[in-house]
Chains A and B, each alone.
Chain A
Amino acid sequence: MKSKPLALEQPLPLAARPGEPLPAPSDWSFELIEQYHRVIRATAERFGLDTYPNQLEIITAEQMMDAYASVGMPVNYRHWSYGKEFIATEKNYKRGHMGLAYEIVINSNPCISYLMEENTMAMQALVIAHAAYGHNSFFKGNYLFRMWTDAASIIDYLVYARNYVSACEEKHGLDAVETFLDSCHALANHGVDRYRRPARKSLAEELAERLDREEYAQRQVNDLWRTLPRQAAKEAGAAESRRFPDEPQENLLYFIEKNAPLLEPWQREIVRIVRKVAQYFYPQRQTQVMNEGWATFWHHKLLNTMYDDGFLTDGVMIEWLKSHTNVIYQPPVGHPAYSGINPYALGFAMYTDIKRICEQPTEEDRAWFPDLAGTPWLPALDRAMRNFKDESFIGQYLSPKLMRELRLFAITDDEAQSELEVSAIHDDAGYRRVRESLSRQYDLGSREPNIQVWNVNLRGDRSLTLRHFQHNERPLHDTATEVLKHVARLWGFGVQLESVNAKGDVSKRWSVPAPAQG
């Protein structure tokens, strides 16, 4: 890993105040964008934001919807679900139910930020500051992204995936590929490695390895399912109790790719593609609050600094501040617009609060954050961005003052009780409980059911057994049966799912027979 540049202790001084602010017509032009971008870049450099090179792209609203529909990526393989997404987005947009997000940014190197044609100049400046410097520096700095994603090769990989899938469609028919992708998508969230770091590969290596891999994987699988009576006598006793896999495995797609007996090589490759894409998005799912908060904090800081330095007119300020306020609005519980905690609002408030703790700590802050209070804010913020994910970030940095400001409170919903209980509120007795609870809420492990490969019946019907380890006795959703059908399609034989409670007892069982071969 490259050595990371040291964070600045203090912002660098301004080179020279401009004679007059940047022109601020409502329509943008390429020259204007470049002018604004130059100033934003210079301002970001003064704060030591370390980014991938930026590539700004102007796109139309329709292209924005395209990008939306294909999970925000500029290229992706074709699948009906993206079509569905596009239709839904387009409908909402046309009816005016939603404005399009004004930015999409792609974690690639160079980092691609989309600027929508319809935006005014002030909005383009906001997007550049938010996406091209906020998100971009987060992608480059945060440990999860550094560990799990390879910004340099993702676009190449998706191009490869698209071509491979379309080649498969041509060779094996649209239907076969589509149903297979459906099944893979059903397990995409369970197709990520949570603890192991993948090796980085360039596209060329990826291609070169594919052939080897197909052949090798097929051989391995065949070996596993060998029916020749080799050492039959010796094995009989031992294998009775032996479980396969030896240890439970959490990456269902990986297990299927390597071990499903009936898959053809192209199918294994598709499982792999879905798995890789899911893995690429895994850090994003874990750093929503941090990532959006960071970008929002920085567009706020950068544009305000530019205003103070005399680069921005009042009109531009008013315009982006209006959007900014909308973005960080947090409706209180019970409000018709309430749908959980707004990650922009929480993240922005937390980074702002960290800066406050550094600069103007109170007695309370000194007690709660002895290492943070009174230190320079730039390195403190940098550390907070680099080394955490949502769960640990909240656990580490959510301050009592902020809990009071947001009036956070925790409600316990216990099936065994007839009523809900307010388990903690923003007071001395409750700070820790609320903070822990909120932190847990962002733990993907507790948000998504924990399902693992438990056993394969090697000697009998070859059926696969999955286990669901219940978290706080929470049951699985009814869709489990549907998902199991998809698993059975991938595995090729029967599949069982056991839901295990905290005591280790199986509390519920699902079973799906082997799919009909056709």
Chain B
Amino acid sequence: MQHIVDRRLAGKNKSIGNRERFLRRHKEQIREAVKRAIDGRGIRDIERGEDIHIPKRDISEPVFGHGQGGVREVVHPGNKDFVTGDRIARPKGGGGQGSGKGQASDQGEGEDDFVFALSKEEFMQVFFEDLALPHLVRTQLAEVPEWKSQRAGFSSDGTPNNLHVVRSMRGALSRRIALGAASRRELAELEQHLAECRRTLQPGDALVEAEIKDLVARIEALRVRVGRIPYLDPIDLRYRSRIRVPVPTSKAVMFCLMDVSGSMDEGRKDLSKRFFILLYLFLTRHYEKIELVFIRHHTQAAEVDEENFFHARETGGTVVSSALILMEEIIKARYSPTEWNIYGAQASDGDNWHHDSGRCRELLNDKLLPLCRYFAYVQVADEEQNLWEEYSQLLEPNRHFAMRKATEPSMIYPVFRDLFKKEGAKAA
């Protein structure tokens, strides 16, 4: 008994479990790589895979093996001109002549790293884990939440409930006309000829009678053929075609405000960046078009591009209100609140010129918060200074204002908790 089994559909991705175990084992390296990648990438460019490099020695599996040295004799093919007793200089370095066991090259130091690609999903997974996102939010961010079903013309296959009767019948009719045309023309000619014959028939004219008989038979055959053309054929059927399209709601602008005074070191900037990325990811799920505005400030605020925003360093004091004023100006000039959904994200170490903090609160309360859909503030340092106190007063009256202290990535998410919860509930 012989068998041929088609396994192609069964057991896809059998190695997933093994891959997961491999990733799990090298979690630290992968984390590092993801962290580096986030540092190096633009906010808009986050959702991509990444190549991970792992040093060969970290993934080697040691076994007992022979090292260099001792006496060994190896047989090689393809002798060109050696005779017994010839002496050859020992090749330098490594396995040299190579015994063909591949041992030497597997274990050698200074080998290339083991490189593999982390998929986009896996990359985001690590990123989310770092941020300690709840699972519900992860799935929410991982897929486009809303779909709309939209007409997209007609197609030749579909379900019966989408059958378009008029189109189908029209198709059937034209097919019947097209298929029967030749036969019907011939039929008409024959009938005409038959009538002609009958008219000219002289009784006893055997020749014409025979022709009439023949004509009648042919006409009969043609009628049958025309009658055999099906009234409705499966190829006539037309269905209304509907496709699902994502429905992002219009457009949004996201303001990233960051303190770049001397006290903001790389670590704090990195935290801030994650904070911005998270909001950006959230917005990409809900808006078709997102603009990013980067405003950095020390004593003065300036609108800059992303590269300068994260990587340039300035020193000096801090006047937070300068950034808020600039934000308001930009909104007035370019982003009318009637057209744009405005989101604000501010990161700072909480250090501010003390006379300025009250002004910041007023600016936010009176000017900016009424314009914004949501405004989140993250303080990437622990000590509470006057800015924190002033901002705290805003929490009570403004439901769309959130603030949080974060000293590590996992503490960032809570600032958005309300935002995600609200939107999540809507989407569900």
User: In whole angstroms, how far apart are the Cα atoms of A190 and B63 in the complex?
Assistant: 9
B422 is an interface residue with CB less than 8 A from chain A: no
Most interface-central of B5, B19, B76, B85 (chain A CB within 10 A): B76
Report if A419-B114 is in contact (Cβ < 8 Å); known contacts: A86-B18, A426-B79, A448-B65: no
Q: Scan residues 98-137 of chain B and give those whose CB is less than 8 A from a CB of chain A.
A: 98-103, 107, 114-117
Most interface-central of B12, B24, B77 (chain A CB within 10 A): B77
Residues in chain B near residue A480, CB distance under 8 A: 64
User: In whole angstroms, how far apart are the Cα atoms of A84 and B21 in the complex?
Assistant: 9
- Count contacts on B: residues with CB < 8 A to the other chain: 65
Task: Determine the residue in chain B with the shortest Cβ distance to A426.
Answer: B79
Residues in chain B near residue A220, CB distance under 8 A: none
Task: Write out, one digit per residue, whether chain A residues 35-64 have a CB within 8 A of any chain B CB (1) or not (0).
Answer: 001000100000000000111111110110
B336 is an interface residue with CB less than 8 A from chain A: no
B80 is an interface residue with CB less than 8 A from chain A: yes
B185 is an interface residue with CB less than 8 A from chain A: no
A411 touches B114 (CB 8 A): no
B355 is an interface residue with CB less than 8 A from chain A: no
B14 is an interface residue with CB less than 8 A from chain A: yes
Residues in chain B near residue A440, CB distance under 8 A: 73
Q: Scan residues 278-322 of chain A and give those whose CB is less than 8 A from a CB of chain B.
A: none
Q: Which of A99-107, A207-215, A330-338 contacts B (4 or more CB under 8 A)?
A: A330-338
Tell me, rounded to whole Å, the shortest Cβ–Cβ distance linking A510 to chain B: 11
User: In whole angstroms, how far apart are the Cα atoms of A162 and B70 in the complex?
Assistant: 41
- Count contacts on A: residues with CB < 8 A to the other chain: 98
Residues in chain B near residue A256, CB distance under 8 A: none
Q: Scan residues 1-34 of chain B and give those whose CB is less than 8 A from a CB of chain A.
A: 1-8, 11-15, 17-25
Tell me, rounded to whole Å, the shortest Cβ–Cβ distance linking B77 to chain A: 5
Q: Scan residues 388-432 of chain A and give those whose CB is less than 8 A from a CB of chain B.
A: 406-416, 418-427, 429-430
Residues in chain A near residue B3, CB distance under 8 A: 54-56, 110
Task: Write out, one digit per residue, whether chain B residues 59-78 have a CB within 8 A of any chain A CB (1) or not (0).
Answer: 11111111111111111111
Task: Determine the residue in chain B with the shortest Cβ distance to A188.
Answer: B63
Q: Scan residues 466-483 of chain A and give those whose CB is less than 8 A from a CB of chain B.
A: 468, 470-480, 482-483
Instruction: Select A474's contact among B22, B67, B77, beta carbons within 8 Å.
Output: B67
A80 touches B62 (CB 8 A): no
A190 touches B64 (CB 8 A): yes
A472 touches B71 (CB 8 A): yes
A421 touches B85 (CB 8 A): yes
User: In whole angstroms, how far apart are the Cα atoms of A334 and B18 in the complex?
Assistant: 38
A421 touches B87 (CB 8 A): yes
A415 touches B71 (CB 8 A): yes
A83 touches B77 (CB 8 A): no
B69 touches A475 (CB 8 A): yes
Report if A479-B64 is in contact (Cβ < 8 Å); known contacts: A33-B4, A58-B6, A335-B78: yes
B15 touches A422 (CB 8 A): no
A residues lining the B interface (CB < 8 Å): 30, 33-34, 37, 41, 53-60, 62-63, 65-66, 69-70, 78-84, 86-88, 91, 110, 117, 174, 178, 182, 185-190, 330-335, 338-341, 406-416, 418-427, 429-430, 434, 437-438, 440-441, 447-449, 451, 468, 470-480, 482-483, 486
5 new A-B contacts, CB < 8 A, other than A83-B22, A434-B75, are A53-B2, A55-B2, A70-B18, A340-B101, A422-B86
Closest 6 CB pairs of A and B: A340-B100, A332-B78, A83-B22, A474-B70, A83-B18, A482-B62
Can you identify 21 A-B contacts, CB atoms within 8 angstroms?
A: A34-B4, A53-B2, A55-B2, A56-B3, A58-B8, A60-B12, A66-B14, A70-B18, A83-B20, A86-B18, A409-B82, A411-B88, A416-B71, A419-B89, A422-B82, A422-B88, A441-B74, A449-B64, A471-B70, A476-B64, A476-B67
